[in-house]
């Protein structure tokens, strides 16, 4: 009895959220030799719990100083995003340091980082190939060479875009004429909404790195930055990819490799968990305070290529569309069973309002209000906006 009483008095422990003043500062800072308005992202996060919600670090004062003399001020243009007042790019062999003062008065600074010299991409190419599992598809390969032997540490990113063509797009669409029971009426009209051609987009998420430090030449040969299975609808028509090659400092390369090994390299937030990875930014206010992230100074070169499926896989059938576009009969305008139970709904109008179906054709055998009056497909098959944007990218060329 005594044991039971003692147990009943034990309250469940619920850890409190970390106070805002103890939240860790996270720094995401990459400045390059591109002449542009450079950006630094700051946010804060708690260091406990499996779910980490980042909060923008607002109201900070951010500066980047070149050679301890030339100062570039970065202003907050959106919560947690700081942008330089004017366009500029780093210069090879010059040193840079990041300074941050938070709204609570705490100050931080990075190590001095010397900008590496740039290395030019020689070639980006798309080839038909098999991946390590034997699946056939399109591989994107990049090659470069630095005769001066000074680059050695490379990181790659890519951004891609692709054309989407809705296979069952129709010049007509549904027209809900009357949605009041018992006068439900649905017709068709000229298509003013659904789009036939759209554009999808994506970008790299993983850390892609390569070092030539153990090779006799500072040469990158056919490094694979992207593989897309031949079965992917994203390469069905026209596809483009822009590959960015960053030359890193040895320290930045090592930090990224450790991040990749520790957490898969997809989020700086994960480093707040046990196994904290120290970057090159430290607190000047409290030497024991942990700071997440890195001030990266790199040089970059970019190259874009365009690929047509028919050129890469001549004579082969297009990949299947993103969804199954089988043409089926529509729901009925009136539901007999629902009406008998006193429910006044139209299955067809409900499906149209939910945008789950798209018009294909009229059912020529329709002769009863409780039968399907149309042939339809899933909305993605007739309206590509559910998979991409109807707006053509500024850089797009046919």
Q: What are the pLDDT digits (tens) for 198-208?
A: 999 999 999 99
HEC profile of the chain: CHHHHHHHCCCCCCCCCCCHHHCEEEEEEEECCCCECCEEEEEEECCCCCCCCCEECCCCEEEEEECCCEEEEEEEEECCEEEECCCECCCCCCEEEEEEECCCCCEEEECCEECCCCCCEEEEEEEEEECCCCCEEEEEEEEEECCCCCCCEEEEEEEEEEEEECCCCCCEEEEEEECCCCCCEEEEEECCCCCCEEEEEEECCCCEEEECCCCCCCEEEEEEEEEEECCCHHHCCEEEEEEEEEECCHHHHHHHHHHHHHHCCCCHHHHHCCCCCCCCEEECCCCCCCEEEEEEECEEEEEEEEEEHHHHCCCCCCCCCCCCCCCEECCCCCCHHHHHCCCCCCHHHHHHHCCCEEEEEECCCCCCCCCCCEEEEEHHHHCHHHCCECCCCCCCCC
Q: In this model, does residue 19 exceed pLDDT 90?
A: no
What is the spatial distance between Cα 64 and Cα 73, in angstroms, rounded to a whole number? 7
Residue 314 has pLDDT above 70, yes or no: yes
Predicted pLDDT of residue 349? 96
User: When comparing pLDDT for 80 and 278, which is higher?
Assistant: 80
What's the pLDDT score for residue 371? Answer: 87
For residue 343, is pLDDT > 70? no
Structure tokens given for 291:
């700071």
270-279, 306-315, 323-332, 350-359, range with the lowest pLDDT = 270-279
Choose the weakest-confidence range: 46-60, 90-104, 168-182, 215-229: 46-60
Predicted local distance difference test score (pLDDT) of residue 3: 44
Q: Which residues, including other chains, have CB under 8 Å from residue 7's CB and lie 6 or more apart?
A: none
Predicted local confidence at residue 17, as pLDDT? 41
* pLDDT of res. 339: 52
Q: Region 63-77: what's the mean pLDDT? A: 97
Q: What is the rounded distance in angstroms from the CA atom of residue 49 to the CA atom of residue 64?
A: 33
Q: Which of 110-124, 210-224, 260-274 has the lowest mean pLDDT?
A: 260-274
The pLDDT mean for the chain works out to 89
Query: What's the pLDDT tens digit per position in 211-224?
Result: 999 999 999 999 99
Q: Give the lowest-confidence range in 78-82, 243-247, 340-344.
A: 340-344
pLDDT of residue 267: 55
pLDDT in tens, 272-285: 555 678 899 999 99
């Amino acid at each position: 009895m005594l044991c039971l009483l003692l147990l009943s008095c034990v309250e469940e422990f619920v850890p409190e959220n970390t106070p805002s003043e103890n939240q860790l500062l996270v720094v995401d800072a990459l400045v390059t030799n591109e002449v542009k308005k450079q950006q630094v992202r700051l946010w804060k996060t708690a260091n406990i719990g499996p779910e980490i919600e980042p909060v923008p670090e607002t109201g900070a004062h951010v500066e980047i100083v070149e050679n301890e003399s030339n100062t570039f001020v970065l202003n907050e243009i959106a919560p947690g995003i700081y942008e330089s007042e004017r366009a500029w790019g780093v210069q090879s062999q010059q040193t840079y340091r990041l300074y941050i003062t938070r709204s609570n008065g705490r100050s931080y600074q990075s190590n001095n980082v010397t900008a590496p010299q740039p290395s030019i991409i020689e070639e980006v190419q798309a080839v038909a190939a098999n991946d390590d599992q034997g699946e056939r598809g399109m591989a994107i390969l990049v090659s470069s060479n630095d005769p001066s032997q000074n680059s050695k540490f490379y990181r790659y990113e890519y951004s891609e875009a692709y054309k989407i063509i809705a296979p069952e797009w129709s010049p007509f669409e549904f027209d809900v004429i009357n949605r009041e029971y018992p006068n439900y009426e649905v017709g068709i009209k000229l298509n003013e909404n659904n789009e036939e051609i759209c554009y999808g987009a994506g970008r790299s998420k993983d850390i892609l790195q390569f070092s030539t430090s153990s090779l006799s030449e500072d040469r990158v040969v056919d490094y694979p930055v992207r593989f897309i299975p031949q079965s992917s609808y994203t390469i069905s028509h026209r596809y483009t990819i822009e590959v960015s090659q960053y030359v890193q400092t040895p320290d930045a390369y090592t930090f990224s490799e450790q991040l990749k090994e520790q957490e898969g390299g997809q989020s700086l937030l994960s480093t707040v968990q046990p196994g904290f990875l120290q970057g090159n930014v430290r607190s000047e206010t409290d030497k024991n305070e942990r700071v997440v992230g890195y001030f990266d100074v790199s040089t970059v070169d970019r190259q874009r290529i365009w690929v047509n499926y028919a050129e890469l896989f001549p004579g082969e059938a297009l990949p299947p569309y993103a969804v199954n576009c089988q043409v089926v009969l529509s729901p009925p305008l009136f539901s007999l069973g629902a009406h008998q139970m006193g429910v006044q709904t139209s299955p067809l109008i409900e499906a149209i309002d939910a945008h789950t179906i798209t018009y294909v054709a009229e059912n020529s055998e329709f002769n009863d209000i409780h039968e399907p009056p149309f042939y339809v497909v899933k909305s993605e098959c007739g309206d590509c906006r559910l998979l991409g944007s109807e707006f053509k990218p500024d850089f797009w060329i046919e």
